[in-house]
Amino acid sequence: MSTSRYDRALKWMLGIVGLFLVLLVLSLFRRSPAEPWQTGDGPRIGVVKIEGLIIDSERIVRQLDRFHRRKDIDAILVRINSPGGTVAASQEIYGKLRRLRDEGAQPVIASLGAVAASGGYYVAVAADTIMASPGTTTGSIGVILDYPVAAELMDKLGLQVEVIKSGSLKDAGSPFRPPTDSDRHSFQRVIDDLHAQFTEVIAAERDLSLEQVRELATGEVFTGRQALELGLVDILGGFEDAITLTGLLTGDTRRPVVVRPAERRRISLWDYLLGDRSHTTWFPQLLPQYLMR
């Protein structure tokens, strides 16, 4: 390699290393906490946002718990913009909201944004009141499992994957072989049970019969206005309407104070490379996942 080419290659390597070090240093800083913002002098409403795929429930549950323990928070408003997510994460957030609602110390209101479907709707049914815009996309009551099958591609490439397993279903869902009838039967049993859990919760929370919910639980989506007619939501309105309603439910007619979670979060190197799209929102999709979406 000539001296000039060597120098250019060295500069490229030093540049890449320098960029990596800058990002690494930035990842050590923490974001400033979100400051509460006020819209009035009345009851204080803690607003928790659920946005995007519901994969990890920990942050949402933590925010709800903090608002619940704060004596200066009079009510909790959950703003949902989500097409759904994993079953367990949706159930955990639902369970937390249900416990807060049952304690009765603070009204719990769900405000449905552009999309609050499947797992997003599952979360909402734990609230005292569900408000949706007329054009909100909601419903999609059901559970799905999908995964890629690349067995033919592997054959064309002449690649093989050696599998040593303890049982015939241990590698069910592997993309490296076609699914068997036993695989499909096993997956369907799980899907059916998760679907039954979903419909049972909606029937209980929305005061509908199981037969009524099963008729709706085909995966079909509804507008907010259709959902109101079907008994899936309680009232129509946007986010500001939900704030007003939440304030009134506290018994205070003054203009509410809206409080956002004041939570610090470490910015990781991964965040800088991929923006705010955390690896937890997409990496699990490489593996078979039971999803409410």
Q: How far, in whole angstroms, is CA 161 from its chain's centroid?
A: 34
Between CA 74 and CA 189 the distance in angstroms is 43
Q: Which amino acid is at 113?
A: G
Q: H-helix or E-strand containing 153?
A: helix 151-157
Among 48, 47, 58, 121, CA closest to 84: 121
In eight-state DSSP terms, residue 204 is: H
Show the CA angle centred on residue 141, arms to residues 137 and 143, nearest 5°.
Answer: 125
Between CA 5 and CA 79 the distance in angstroms is 56
Question: Which residues are catalytically annotated?
Answer: 118, 170
Q: How far, in whole angstroms, is CA 57 from its chain's centroid?
A: 7
Q: H-helix or E-strand containing 78?
A: strand 75-82
Tokens 């416990």, residue located = 99
- For residues 46 and 17, the answer to whether their CB atoms sit within 8 Å is no
